A and B are shown apart, each in its own frame.
Chain A
């Protein structure tokens, strides 16, 4: 192991210790901290763009009837909002955190494959440039929903669908390269003495996520490729006229799609498992069970995909299998929630901003998990399917789940990255405004969904008007609150109270042994793990 670690040190001697200046520094950088920052900045930008699209959606839905945009544009907004938030905001944010934190947490000098790391980031902006550009072309961008079900994406889509396909291909290649890098780094570059069961949980959850990524992103690439050839090269994968089957699209898509939702939540589990012990001033309760729970969630995620397809006319035996398999996942998830609560139990808890977001995560993610259980009940799903209840469910797990964990992680490590404490008052405003508005935004969606309001439609029946007005107000408030986050981050990067190496007194881990801000090169000599 030591020979692996020493080699980059020898190389570093040739480098200048201070990076090149200007744009080229960022374009050519192979430094994991630089690339981590690039990913995080990119993710925040995409979060704001995707959020702006959500604002268009909520503005149109503020009142019944068609006011602001025509239905075709509305469809493009729901589609691209979903694609951007999933592939542009949440996934790159986790990859950014992985880049920044994994080498620091395992005592590695950098990621294992730094040049590939540069590539995996820099192709990403082009993917989204292509996707966003398609919105401005004649015929508009993709309008078939982020799930691009055939035949909507094949027979009934416009010619710009090729741009969508290539954009998804590039996003897929980027995240596959990122995942490979994470796996190689964790397997090969752990500091001597960092045994598997000493790995910080964020590293563990990311390792498992990376395996999910390399298992299912190629399947997504296959699905978009089939859409491409069906649409442009007269194949019939999903076209009954040529012997294909549109239902098969859904099987292939959700074989990717369900593990994908765990790709977006497992690293969140890692972040929460890092933050909760810090501010409870206790060791994490049940470390080993956390590792096993994460692994079993990942394995189970491959056998539950058809719970998205209960209404496609599956045989009862299939529906029952997928129902019970899905419900089984709540067992390891329940173990995790139990462990977080048990960690806080009788701890000397303080409510710093990262902890506030973490506690909100635990409560609200669990709520999203419960509505997921409701959706898993096959007979009930026939009523919930494709209604706002589904929208409420996945926004609770993705916004108050994944996004809140990213915010928690950002506030937790921002002082380590910048060397400055963020403006705590402003950050608390951000938290409380977000917490209230996010629930005003998503909670009433459960009600309109149960009452039968369908998703992805720019108009609705009059009885849903009041709830939709409330939802939209919550949406605008939540969207504006995120500008506070931007302000906090920018202010913190510019300056603030200096922080010591160990920013939070209850924190544990190698990342708190390096200076704040973390020097450009860290752990050139591997640390010794007790």
Chain B
């Protein structure tokens, strides 16, 4: 029979498409990175701000929530602040480990509206590093940020949300 060549090609397409499903995972991240979609802000330290726009004000609110089951209580000292684009602002957060075990916490930031994500620059953030918290310990963390002067004019307020995860077990697993 002469079906073999066509059959081979069709099977290869299937295998290729199965691989494509998994290739979508990195592609998705690259796409979000390039376009700044999805509200994923950069996890790297930003440059200092050099200029300030005096005649504009932007509201920045903070929300925090712990992944279900994560024994952390994280709060911002201020619920929301008003800043001028380019002006650096410090906001304090407190985090408490409510369990009786030593834990490691990782905060993942997200910005809403999504397209504002790339205009929020963090110079210092507890989300840059994993934060170990001893059993029952409560620590203060600093967030130092500014809003880019190029923030589109239709955005008058934005929200920075932190989800904190308990990564103690993953750490143990990866150390082994």
Where the two chains meet, the residues of A that have a C-beta atom closer than 8 Å to any C-beta of B are 4, 7, 112-113, 176, 180, 183-184, 187-188, 214-219, 221-223, 225-226, 234, 237, 240-242, 245, 247-248, 251-252, 255, 313-315, 318
Contact = CB atoms under 8 A, between A and B. Distances in A.
A219 B10 contact: no
A252 B2 CA distance: 35
A219 B165 contact: no
Given A180-B7, A222-B22, 20 more contacts: A4-B1, A176-B14, A180-B10, A184-B6, A184-B10, A187-B6, A188-B2, A188-B6, A217-B17, A218-B14, A218-B20, A221-B21, A222-B18, A241-B166, A242-B170, A248-B24, A251-B24, A252-B21, A255-B24, A313-B39
B21 A113 contact: no
A180 B14 CA distance: 10
Given A4-B1, A113-B7, A222-B22, A245 B28 contact: yes
Interface of B: 1-3, 6-7, 10-11, 13-18, 20-22, 24-25, 28, 35, 37-39, 67, 108, 112-115, 163, 165-167, 170, 173
B17 A248 contact: no
18 contacts: A112-B3, A180-B7, A180-B11, A180-B14, A188-B2, A214-B17, A217-B17, A218-B21, A222-B18, A240-B67, A240-B163, A241-B67, A241-B166, A242-B170, A247-B38, A313-B113, A315-B114, A315-B115
Given A214-B13, A218-B15, A183 B6 contact: yes
Contacts of B6: 183-184, 187-188
A226 B37 CA distance: 23
Which of A176, A223, A241, A242 has the largest number of chain B CB atoms within 10 A? A241
A215 B18 contact: no
Nearest to A183: B10
A219 B21 contact: yes
A252 B7 CA distance: 26
Contacts of B35: 315
Contacts of A315: 35, 37, 114-115
Contact of B17 (A113, A215, A225, A245): A215
B2 A237 contact: no
Contacts of B21: 218-219, 221-223, 225-226, 252, 255
A194 B170 CA distance: 62
B173 to A, nearest CB: 8
Given A214-B17, A245-B38, A315-B115, A184 B7 contact: yes
Contacts of A4: 1-2
A440 B3 CA distance: 49
B73 to A, nearest CB: 17
Contacts of B2: 4, 188
Contacts of A217: 14, 17
A215 B13 contact: yes
Given A221-B21, A240-B163, A248 B14 contact: no
Contacts of A219: 17-18, 20-21
A248 B17 CA distance: 17
Contacts of A318: 37
A152 B17 CA distance: 25
Which of B3, B13, B163, B170 has the largest number of chain A CB atoms within 10 A? B3
A248 B24 CA distance: 9
B22 A188 contact: no
